[in-house]
Every structure is written in structure tokens, then in C-alpha cells.
Amino acid sequence: MTLETKEALENLTRSFESFKSANDERLAEIEAKGKADSLTEEKLSRMNRELDQLQAKANKLQAARGRPEISAKGDMDATRLEQKRQFFDGFIRKGHELKLDQKALSTTVDTDGGYAVPVELDQMIEKHLRDLSPIRAEANVIAIGTSKYKKLVNVGGITSGWISETGARVETSTPVLQEIVPPLGEIYANPAATQTMLDDGNFNVEKWLSQELAEEFSYQENDAFVNGDGINKPKGFLQYVVSTATDDSRTFGEIQALKTGVAGDWAATDPSDILVDMIHAMKSGYRGDGKFYMNTSLLAEIRKFKDVDGNYLWRPGLENGVSSTLLGYPVIEVADMPVRAASSLSLCFANMKRAYSVTDRMGTRILRDPYSNKPYVHFYTTKRVGGAVTNDQAIKLLQFAV
């Protein structure tokens, strides 16, 4: 552990202890006066924001330690490295449409113009996307080479049993299969640089381009994986029909939603009980890798929850590679999750690797445009991304409704 990481974790621990003291003070005021002092509430809100910042910094430092660096060299031989250099120095920096080695660089000229970027740049974009997109980082990401990915799910089960070596085999029933086809759409980004920047030999154009593309792609992806309507884009997990029925009785393709019993709010007494219900509504085979997903405002509320013994249910992430936890399960902040409101689906508990699939059509295409917005050179870049819930039993939602 580096000194900087150790210091960040110590600051997080001190901040959480101060937060607990302030919240205990708030609870005492409510018990004595019926409501908390406004100064105490303001102090607690400030501490919540500080906890967010310290946890994010600690997560970033710990992730950086364990993340392998994707370098320009990698395992490429000298020929591939030179061809890649030609791509960036010739096409990206100067606009020369070189006759690149298509096999070595995975470059092809699209019918509408532009090149498929080298596979190494694709990998760099993917790495940055995982850092910026919390759902992509947790979901099952599948690289596809066609325009459609299909998954068959057995929803009826099959007959099986035990038998002796020489016993007659009874014919089993035919499985009932359902087909899932994650909607696929084209996502684009259009970062810009001046020609002066591109001409500067010290300007790391590869790193700049991969980061710019990842940031713009992630903004669209994050929202689509949560809220997308499935029309020319992924279908978000909050856009499925919800039901209170359990896994054994629910219609295929519907997601179980537990209700707080109060429109737009937590239950007045023992509000955290529903969190335990969410966890145990999931089958044990999925539950072990379950995580909570919510936005920062809901997390600020949940940080104040205690059990019957007065212990806080939320814990900061103080170990290497471990995020903050709620009831022992990791917490993932997702800005695109809705704020708490009447009938909102603001909290998710899921084994996202089993529940949600992201499909990436191989190949990111780029078109260099130095003409539309002089003196800037734009890099119009597209890729095809899909997404859908592929296992509705591995995800549970909390609805703030009666």
C-alpha cells in the first residue's frame, strides 16, 4: 500500500467516525425535540459530501494499484508497432489516408469513409470506459462480430433423476426456451483538437483520443444501461415491467420489485428492514456476488441507518479493492439511478454479471474532419453497443410505493 493510499484510507476512517457522532447527535435531537436542529442537518450534509469525496479518492487510488497499464508497446512486434505509429502520425495527426496493412492493424475503409481504429486503441477506450461506466464495469460484456446477439434461456426446466447403471431411461421433457436479443444501437462521439496540438510531437494523441472518446461514450452508455428504452440503444434495467411476484411465479422478462409501503419514502419504522428483504429475495446462487446500486442522494440517507444494536449498516471501503458496503454487500454509486420519489425505482440489488449483458460490436470507426469547424480537427467516431437484462432472477429493485 502506498503512503498516499494509506493516508486516504485514514482520512476516510476519521471522517466516518465524525459522521457517526454527528448523526447520533441528530437522532438525540429528534428524540428530545421531535426534529433535528437545522445546523446539525447542515453539518451532516457537509460530512456526507466529504465522505463521498474521500471514498471516491480511496477507490481511485486502490484501483490504480491493481490495474495493469495498457501501453503502446505491449506484446506487439516491431512491425505492428511501426504500423500503429503510421496510423496515428499519418492519419490522425496529418490526415494522410495511408495504405495501411489491413490485417495487421484491423483497419478497413468503411463505405462511408473512415478507418476502423487499431485494436490497441480499442482496448484503451474499453479500459477507460470500465473506469467511467459503473454498469459496464460490473455487467457481462460480450464482444460480437455480427449485427445481432441472441441468448436462449431455459425457463421451463427439464426432467432429471437418479438411475442405476442398467436401469431403463425415462424420456425427459422438452425444455421451454425463451430468446433474448439485446437491442443494439450506434453511439458516436466527436472530439476536437487544433492542428497545432496534433503537430506537437510531445502531444500524446493516442492517450488524448482514447480518453476523450471514452468520456463521451460513457455519458451516453451510463444512461442507456439504466434508463434506455431499447429503441436504437440498449434497454436499461429500469425499463422492464416490474412485479411483486417471486422468481417461481413471475412472468419471464419481468423484474421483481419490493415496495417500501410508503409513496416516495421509506417506511416510518424500521426502514432498513426492506434492504434485508431485498437481499434474501434473491436466490442464494446469485446473492454471493450481489451489490447495491444507487445514486449519491439515496446513499446519503442510507448512511444514517442503524440496526437494533445501534451499529451503522453502511461501512466505508477501507480494504484494498473493496468499495463501501451496506449490510456486508458492496455499494456502487450510479448517477443515472433516479432520485427518491413516488413510485421511483431508486435502489437496485443485483448480481450484475449474471443479470445484465452488454454487447460490443467489434470495431470502432473514426472519420477525420478538418473542414467543418476550422481551425479544429474533429474525429467523428462511432461504435455499436447493445444491452439487456439476460437473467431477471439475478436482479431486484426497490420501489418507493405502497
Domain boundaries of the chain, sorted by first residue? 3-62, 117-159+169-401
- Structure-block grid coordinates of residue 312: 451503522
Residue 21 and residue 17: Cα distance in Å, rounded? 6
More confident residue, 65 or 294: 294
Read off φ and ψ for residue 264, nearest 5 degrees.
Answer: 75, 10
Residue 171: predicted pLDDT: 67
**Residue 5, SS3?**
helix
**pLDDT tens digit sequence for 356-366:** 999 998 778 88
**pLDDT tens digit sequence for 290-319:** 999 999 999 999 999 999 889 999 998 876
Residue 93: predicted pLDDT: 81
Residue 64 and residue 51: Cα distance in Å, rounded? 20
Q: What is 103-116 written as a DSSP string?
A: HHHT--B-TTS-EE
Residue 106 has pLDDT above 90, yes or no: no
From the list 125, 126, 86, 92, the residue with the least C-alpha distance to 105 is 86
| 37 confidence band (pLDDT: 50, 70, 90) | confident
Residue 35 and residue 20: Cα distance in Å, rounded? 18
- Structure-block grid coordinates of residue 367: 472519420
Residue 52 and residue 49: Cα distance in Å, rounded? 5
Residue 83 has pLDDT above 80, yes or no: no
CATH class as words, domain 117-159+169-401: alpha beta
Residue 237: predicted pLDDT: 98
Residue 112: predicted pLDDT: 44
Percent over 90 (pLDDT), the chain: 44
Order of strands across the sheet that contains 345-350: 242-243, 255-259, 395-399, 345-350, 291-294, 329-333, 325-326, 314-315
Residue 333: predicted pLDDT: 94
- CB contact at 8 A, 178 and 155: yes
More confident residue, 166 or 316: 316
Residue 110 has pLDDT above 50, yes or no: no
Mean pLDDT of 60-65: 64
Highest mean pLDDT among 55-69, 133-147, 194-208: 133-147
By mean pLDDT, which of 68-72, 81-85, 178-182 is the weakest?
Answer: 68-72
From the list 117, 188, 144, the residue with the least C-alpha distance to 365 is 117
Highest mean pLDDT among 42-46, 103-107, 240-244: 240-244
Mean pLDDT of 255-266: 97
Residue 104 has pLDDT above 50, yes or no: no
Average pLDDT, the chain: 84
Highest mean pLDDT among 50-54, 79-83, 245-249: 245-249
**pLDDT tens digit sequence for 329-375:** 999 999 999 999 999 999 999 999 999 999 998 778 888 889 888 88
Residue 321: predicted pLDDT: 59
Residue 165 has pLDDT above 50, yes or no: yes
Residue 261: predicted pLDDT: 96
- H or E element in which residue 16 lies: helix 3-33
